[in-house]
Amino acid sequence: MPAKIISGKDVSASVKARIKTEAEVFTAKTGIAPGLAVIIVGEDPASQIYVRNKHKACKDMGFASFEHTLPESTTEAELLSLIAKLNSDDSVHGILVQMPLPKHINENAVINAINPDKDVDAFHPENVGHIMIGDYKFLPGTPAGVMELLASENIDITGKNCVVIGRSNIVGKPMSMLLLHKHGTVTICHSRTKNLPEITRGADILVAAIGKLGFVTADMVKEGAIVIDVGINRTAEGKVRGDVDFDSVSEKASYITPVPGGVGPMTIAMLMLNTLTAAKIFAKTI
């Protein structure tokens, strides 16, 4: 039987509706509209699309959105000085610096400069530490979105073999930690992993976050597995597709997320949630 498709489009719409209602209550009570500042440096086309989508989501939520588009030639010092300004701007509750940054800018220095209370990406070491312990206010959008997708189907993670392919700070590492918090037995695979297909075939829940078009094929997937595709790749024809070979894997999996329309819209919904949380931290209502 073909897999059930978990629609990130539908789940994100209901998450955003919930956030919008909650934000309206918050704004009515405090007079504060949650504000998100997004900084983009350079002209990476994919990043430009993400930033546009974030801006649109803010508008839909009734949030204030501040876009800072900086040229590729921006120095690290200039970027750090903008972040310092936004850190002390009371109308800005969340700050997001779109990654990747140009090579001459040290990403860690930039992340470290963001006030942890405004760190809606949850990339700052302080927030990463909170996540590790399981006592956090912010979760990074993509792994948090994956957890929402699993929850939307009432999938119990307890005791399941969870295999995460990819070990990035943005997705793979926090994803593994969230699955562990929900009592999954977690394996993290990466480019140096030996016998990868053997490991992935043991997965009850398989999360693909590699960044390689169609990397996960049906022979790597157990019958009935839950397959979550975090990849966003372009085909030679310019179509957006994931890390999972959807057509073959969907014949074998019990659940699968599509690309586009799977994890992607969830990332933005969770960013909106973090922006509302940041505004609540500012207003001292949490």
Q: Which positions touch ligand GUN (CB under 6 A)?
A: 96-99, 121, 141-142, 170, 267
| Residue 90 is a catalytic residue | no
* Cβ atoms 55, 65 nearer than 8 A: yes
Q: Is the dihedral of CA 149, 154, 156, 161 positive or negative?
A: negative
> Which residue's Cβ has the minimum distance to ligand GUN?
99
Q: How far is CA 101 from CA 40, 47, 125, 139, in A?
A: 8, 10, 18, 21
- Which is nearer to ligand GUN, 170 or 203 (by Cβ)? 170
Kindly state the DSSP code that residue 242 receives in the 8-state scheme. -
- Rounded CA-CA distance 22/41 in Å is 32
Point out the catalytic residue in the list 117, 119, 121, 243: 121
| Residue 48 is a catalytic residue | no
Beta-carbon neighbour count of residue 115 at 10 Å?
19
Point out the catalytic residue in the list 16, 54, 173, 222: 54
At 4 the three-state DSSP class reads strand
| Residue 137 is a catalytic residue | no
Identity of the residue numbered 107: E
Residue from 244, 20, 78 nearest 97 by CA:
78
Residue from 66, 93, 83 nearest 282 by CA:
93
Instruction: Give the side-chain half-sphere CA count within 13 A for 235.
Output: 10
**Which residues carry out catalysis?**
54, 98, 121
